């Protein structure tokens, strides 16, 4: 079992990552819910954006360009710098396509119900096709299969999470994404990439704040899903290529593909189930691959501070 992290590391994480992201997201979500449940989807999208932006902001520089604590606001020389912009684009497209679908539903005759879904998902497919090209790491640029697979994973995860959230389980889906990003943080800290680990913690906390507020208000949190879709596969893909470690490839795949285990719940008969048994089963199928991924990472690598403690102990002998 890994040793506990140093207390200063815990306090810094609470101050810079946990409280701004979780508190900011929950606060924004509650403000939108004050205006009614009709604003919940928009509120969840804004909440995740605000939570991440708050945790990423630092007062250490005068100009706006220099205030990005974890990742620059304007993408720089690294591919993973495009992750926030990709997520923001998907969030905006998700909201606009949702409103376009609602408008089409009012205009189109009932027998052409498929028309509004076609409009919604045509926009989303196009957006995923564009942003996936931003997120392919340079070492993988020569692999022709990487971009289409990344785009397909992002799109299917979006469809699965959105379908379940829209059926009345918005707060639960936000909680699933929170757990997935915390698992991603665990894999990335064993992978020795602290910056990516912190981004995953921030996103996990932001989705946790949305989950608590949406769960308490029984509100729709589907507007936040594109942010998770924009970050999750791209963050783990870049993490795998950006840093070398002994963490097995399977750990990255398990976490990145976890939302796909929810696709069977899109079946209408299963999708309508939202009792305690259905919630328990869904939570279990999400948590099992996350736990396996974390255990595999811990078996193959040590945490950085564990190595430092071991080195200090040898020096004392």
Express each pLDDT in 235-283 by its tens digit.
Answer: 999 999 888 889 999 999 999 999 999 999 888 887 777 778 888 999 9
- Could you tell me which residues are beta bridge partners of residue 57? 68
- Could you tell me which residues are beta bridge partners of residue 68? 57
Which string of DSSP letters, residue by residue, matches 37-53?
GGGHHHHHHHHHHHHHH
| pLDDT at residue 21 is higher than 80 | yes
What the block records as the tokens of 3 is: 């040793």
| pLDDT at residue 79 is higher than 70 | yes
Residue 68, classed as helix, strand or coil, is strand
Q: What is the pTM of this model?
A: 0.91
Which residue would you say has higher pLDDT here, 158 or 217? 158
CA 243 to chain centroid, in Å, comes to 20
Which string of DSSP letters, residue by residue, matches 10-39?
HHHHIIIIIIIIIIHHHHHHHHHHHT-GGG
Considering only CA atoms, give the Rg of the chain: 20
Residues 6+ apart with CB under 8 A from 206: 21, 22, 24, 25, 47, 48, 51, 52, 55, 227
pLDDT score of 310? 44
pLDDT score of 155? 96
Looking at 66-75, 76-85, 180-189, 308-317, which range is the least confident one?
A: 308-317
Residues 6+ apart with CB under 8 A from 254: 289, 290, 292, 293, 296
Q: Where does residue 34 rank: exposed (0-12), middle (13-18), buried (19+ CB within 10 A)?
A: exposed
Element (H, E) at 208: helix 194-217
pLDDT score of 66? 78
| Mean pLDDT along residues 56-68 | 78
pLDDT score of 106? 79
Express each pLDDT in 148-157 by its tens digit.
Answer: 999 999 999 9
Provide the pLDDT confidence category of residue 115 given band limits of 50, 70 and 90: confident
Which residue would you say has higher pLDDT here, 27 or 302? 27
Share of the chain above pLDDT 70, in %: 92
| pLDDT at residue 175 is higher than 60 | yes
| pLDDT at residue 307 is higher than 70 | no
């Amino acid at each position: 079992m890994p040793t506990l992290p140093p207390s200063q590391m815990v306090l810094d994480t609470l101050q810079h990552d946990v409280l701004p992201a979780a508190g900011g997201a929950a606060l924004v979500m509650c403000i939108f819910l004050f205006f009614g449940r009709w604003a919940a989807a928009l509120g969840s999208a804004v909440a995740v954006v605000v939570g991440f932006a708050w945790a990423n902001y630092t007062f250490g520089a005068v100009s706006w360009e220099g205030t990005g604590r974890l990742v620059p606001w304007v993408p720089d020389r690294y591919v993973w710098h495009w992750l926030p912009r990709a997520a923001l684009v998907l969030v905006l497209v998700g909201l606009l396509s949702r409103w376009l679908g609602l408008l089409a539903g009012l205009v189109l005759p009932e027998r052409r119900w498929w028309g509004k879904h076609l409009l919604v998902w045509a926009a989303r497919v196009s957006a995923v096709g564009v942003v996936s090209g931003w997120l392919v790491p340079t070492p993988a640029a020569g692999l022709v299969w990487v971009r289409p697979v990344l785009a397909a994973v992002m799109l299917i995860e979006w469809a699965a999470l959105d379908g379940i959230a829209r059926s009345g389980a918005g707060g639960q889906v936000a909680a699933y994404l929170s757990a997935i990003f915390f698992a991603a943080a665990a894999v990335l800290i064993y992978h020795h990439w602290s910056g990516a680990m912190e981004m995953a913690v921030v996103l996990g906390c932001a989705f946790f704040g949305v989950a608590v507020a949406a769960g308490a208000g029984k509100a729709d949190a589907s507007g936040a899903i594109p942010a998770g879709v924009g970050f999750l596969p791209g963050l783990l893909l870049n993490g795998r290529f950006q840093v070398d470690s002994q963490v097995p490839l399977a750990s990255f795949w398990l976490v990145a593909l976890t939302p796909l285990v929810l696709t069977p719940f899109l079946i209408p008969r299963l999708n309508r189930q939202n009792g305690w048994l259905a919630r328990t089963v869904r939570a279990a199928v999400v948590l099992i691959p996350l736990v396996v991924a974390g255990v595999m990472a811990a078996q193959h690598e040590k945490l950085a501070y564990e190595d430092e403690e071991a080195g200090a102990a040898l020096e004392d002998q």
